[in-house]
Amino acid sequence: MTCSDRCPSLASRLGSVWYRHFRTYTKDLVSNGFPPFMEPLIFLAGMGLGMAQYVPGLAGMSYLQFLASALVMTSAMFTASFECTYGTFVRLEFDKTYDGMLAAPLSVADVMVGEALWAGTKGAFFSLAVLLVISAFGLAELGPALLLTPAVGFLTGFLFGAIGLLVTSFVTNMNHFNFFFTGLLSPMFMFCGTVFPIENLPGPLQVLAEILPLTHPVRLGRAAALGSGWKASLLLDLAYTAGVAALAMYLAARRLERRIVK
């Protein structure tokens, strides 16, 4: 047996975790792939078409464009958060999936980073699905910048996948996830530049919005989807998003290692 057989590379170890989730997800691809195409249609019809009659243009674009360009990243946030909270908890506590994985030459850190990479992949897929829908209605600007949208979706998915893993490391009952989704994700959806500019908030809430992790992917995704608004401050958004993702991933891996390896 060669060293490569006994000591698989990092890419191979992470890829094996990612591939396991890919195989599971694609076994029922039609039902799994249907929601990301329908949800933006329902939301835009319910909120966008109704409210657009009463809300003037925002930030140099129509309200529908403003709203639709943010949905590209919020869809990545929600799918990654579900994957790495409820999905991870089921694999951890009920299916005992990680026990089997750790019997292979994988560490807990390998497994958890692989989980976040899969969440990032789902984020890219969901953001691409939403992008196709809004593009069909003329709410996205066709151009080279549009190709960056799935990449931002991947980063957003990885970010919220890592945050979801960190939350899961504290949870002992699935009902506790209600605090995360209702207490954090829902307010972020409302107050991080998705449905109105954060500049309309009072000063202290603007500061809070800048701390919350969704604000920065929304800015990046909106610039990519609309091909406008590019400025140097987006590099700070990119750095903040990557930094929070790395920190959450590190903390989640440390905590879950103590929980899994007893």
Q: What is the largest CA-CA distance in the chain?
A: 70
Q: What is the pTM of this model?
A: 0.94
Length of the chain equals 262
Phi, psi angle pair for 173, to nearest 5°: -140, 130
Q: Tell me what the pLDDT averaged over the chain comes to.
A: 91
Domain-by-domain residue ranges, the chain?
A: 14-51+58-260
User: Above 70 in pLDDT, residue 31?
Assistant: yes
Q: For residue 51, what pLDDT is reported?
A: 75
User: Above 60 in pLDDT, residue 28?
Assistant: yes
Q: For residue 48, what pLDDT is reported?
A: 66
50 against 102, higher pLDDT: 102
Closest CA to 44 of 22, 25, 70, 20: 70
Q: What is the pLDDT of residues 111-170, one digit of tens each?
A: 999 999 999 999 999 999 999 999 998 888 878 888 899 999 999 999 999 999 999 999
Span 221-240, mean pLDDT?
90
Say if residues 143 and 116 touch (Cβ distance below 8 Å).
no
Phi, psi angle pair for 58, to nearest 5°: -120, 135
Closest CA to 249 of 260, 238, 257, 237: 257
